[in-house]
Amino acid sequence: MTAVLPSWSGKSAPALEEKELLYFCALIEERAGIHLKPGKQDLVRTRLQSRIAACGLKDFSEYRKFLSTLPAEAPEWEIFTNLLTTNKTDFFREPKHFEFLIQKILPEWLALGQKTFKVWSAACASGEEPYTLAMILARHLPPGRDFKILATDIDTDVLRKAQNGVYPLAKKSEIPPDFHGPSVDIGRREAEGWFRIKPALKEKITFKQHNLIERTLPGENIFDLVLCRNVLIYFTPETIQLVQAKLYQSVKSGGYFFIGHSESLQGLKHQWTMTNPSIFRKGNGKP
């Protein structure tokens, strides 16, 4: 979400006092599980100050009071959560995961004779991860086999971008050249400088808002593969414990779970079998 910072009528931006900072940090952890570490004061200030101006409020203290009066279903809570959510991602990010999918997971799955490979891209941000999965699965699954991808995120702003499937042309360099023709359309005239994901890939993906720290699952599907990458770094160990246990429920016996290369389940009680440091399997390998 791009925000234009206000001029504050010629005055300097309002100060963010520690008590307000702690309040906002506690709120975003309660609502989204995101633990903002010390040193994130500038992030909170920058992302919230434009919203304070848009609400016609004077400072962070008034915004805190405003939030405290709102019912749980008020739209402002969604705006607040979107503002303090981090959504950095790329196409084909951490490629060793996709190599493992191609070389290990898909051959095993194909040998079982199943028809539809089901994936959950949890915390999908602006959609690069699920679209990468769609490109790979479309290429490597033989005729007669299909795939479905569920892509979820708590941030409704980035979900809208993901559903749109349109990206700046500069991001095309993240996609290997041999995928360009089958996967993307280059914009012309008024769409020059942009590309879109081809409709045949988009229709394989269902985008849905979902909060990972809620105990409910986003649907009835049990998945062959779940990805929750570069998200756990924002959670406390207690929240990671809750999330990984929830994701365990959503994976088929013999299915797989990917986390980010910089993340770990070390020190947690869990039922996964570690295949690689960032790749886990449910059970001992038998579906």
Show which residues are catalytic.
47, 153
H, E, C per residue of the chain: CCCCCCCHHHCCCCCCCHHHHHHHHHHHHHHHCCCCCCCCHHHHHHHHHHHHHHCCCCCHHHHHHHHHCCCCCCHHHHHHHHHCCCCCCCCCCCHHHHHHHHHHHHHHHHHCCCCEEEEEEECCCCCHHHHHHHHHHHHHCCCCCEEEEEEEECCHHHHHHHHHCEEEHHHHHHCCHHHHHHHEEECCHHHCCEEEECHHHHCCEEEEECCCCCCCCCCCCCEEEEECCCCHHHCCHHHHHHHHHHHHHCEEEEEEEECCCCCCCCCCCCCEEEEECCEEEECCCCC
